[in-house]
Chain A
Amino acid sequence: MTIRLGFVYTIITPENKMLLEAARKRGIKAAKLSDAELLMDIGGRSGRQGEEYDVVLQRSSSLARSLYSTAYFENCGVQVVNSYAVQALCADKALTTMRLAHEGVPTPKTMLAFTPESAMKAIDGLGGYPVVMKPVIGSWARLLSKINDKEAAHTVIEHREELGSYLHKVYYVQEHVQKPGRDIRAFTVGEEVICAIYRNAKNGEWLTNTARGATASNCPVTSELREIVLKASKAVGGGILGVDLMESERGLLVHEVNHSTEFRNSVAPTGVDIAGKMIDYVVKMARK
């Protein structure tokens, strides 16, 4: 029995192409919903667009479009993967860190502050340099700063104060974890850790995003990794997630959870049909 799948997208990325292909292989003709063309009647009870679908898979590239269109479809009574609650939490690093810490998931030491003066005190609170400053909302290592000394801290904070968005004045400061030149991205689909990769930084780089030239290799899913990743997934509300971890002196630390994970470079090294597993999960959610 097939399902009526709504597929929200901004562009057809390699991941989205793989997902649509996996759906086709399962006899599912997804309705491609370009977020640029969505017209959502939110003021009344007409326009119950969501009633056409058993489930919507949210793969918009834009956080704003993803959140609003997800809210719309959920309001129409249709299940969206991932849910609004999961997306809204995972999109915000501060809220994610707070939730992970609250649920006992090991995370790096992190402080939050709202002014230059308190941001400097927050840095002192981490026990010294280097530290890492991140925007609370942002992806692909955008505006990430490794701050090596007090002078650099003042410079980065001054730049943040001048940037347009009020969110840049929310200072999320984290200990710099000495990683072994890599970090880990684990993929969860519901209660299954389907695979994981090491993201190996380019020579001399501290950033491990593949958007910054890091390369992927298979990471075995050990019982320790599985346990911590599933705990993180449960903490944020579950779904289809990319959980990022660092190997530190005190063990694995979860530093981020991605709600619209990329996986184009992870299929080959892991040998796992990531898109297929994701679509199988979406089908399961449609039948709930």
Chain B
Amino acid sequence: MADAECPDCAGAVKLKEGAEQGEIISCPDCGARLEIASVNPPKVQPAPKVEEDWGE
């Protein structure tokens, strides 16, 4: 399967087996916080910013 492309550095981002759309991962090249937009085809986008009202 092709890799996704980091929107920040254009580096290749390989999705792990069992990756789920909506999961947050880091770009292995630049460390950018990314959200898996789709698994098939593999696509990542910048992760949503953690807001003041986030939590448990």
Q: Identify the A interface with B (CB < 8 A).
A: 9-13, 16-17, 20, 32, 34, 36, 61-64, 137-140, 142, 242, 258-262
| The one of A10, A20, A32, A258 that contacts B56, using a Cβ cutoff of 8 Å | A258
Which 3 residue pairs of A and B lie closest in terms of their CB atoms, listed nearest first? A139-B55, A12-B22, A63-B53
Q: Identify the B interface with A (CB < 8 A).
A: 20-24, 35-36, 47-48, 50-56
| Residue in A11, A258, A259 whose Cβ sees the most chain B Cβ within 10 Å | A11
Residues of chain A with a CB closer than 8 A to B56's CB: 139-140, 242, 258-262
Taking a contact as CB atoms under 8 Å apart, the answer to whether A17 and B47 are in contact is no
Whole-angstrom distance between the alpha carbons of A64 and B54 in the complex?
9
Q: Give chain B's interface secondary structure class.
A: loop
B45 to chain A, nearest CB (A): 11
| The one of A9, A20, A34, A63 that contacts B55, using a Cβ cutoff of 8 Å | A63
- What is the chain A residue whose CB lies nearest that of B53? A63
Taking a contact as CB atoms under 8 Å apart, the answer to whether B23 and A61 are in contact is no
Taking a contact as CB atoms under 8 Å apart, the answer to whether A32 and B54 are in contact is no
Taking a contact as CB atoms under 8 Å apart, the answer to whether A137 and B53 are in contact is yes
A163 to chain B, nearest CB (A): 10
- What is the chain B residue whose CB lies nearest that of A211? B55
A-B contact pairs, 12 of them (CB 8 A): A11-B22, A11-B35, A12-B22, A12-B23, A12-B36, A34-B22, A61-B54, A63-B53, A63-B54, A138-B52, A142-B52, A261-B56
A20 touching B20 in the complex, CB below 8 Å, given contacts A61-B55, A242-B56, A258-B56: yes
Residues of chain A with a CB closer than 8 A to B50's CB: 61
| Residue in B21, B47, B55 whose Cβ sees the most chain A Cβ within 10 Å | B55
Taking a contact as CB atoms under 8 Å apart, the answer to whether A17 and B20 are in contact is yes
Taking a contact as CB atoms under 8 Å apart, the answer to whether B53 and A32 are in contact is no
Whole-angstrom distance between the alpha carbons of A62 and B23 in the complex?
16
- What is the chain A residue whose CB lies nearest that of B24? A11
Residues of chain A with a CB closer than 8 A to B21's CB: 12, 32
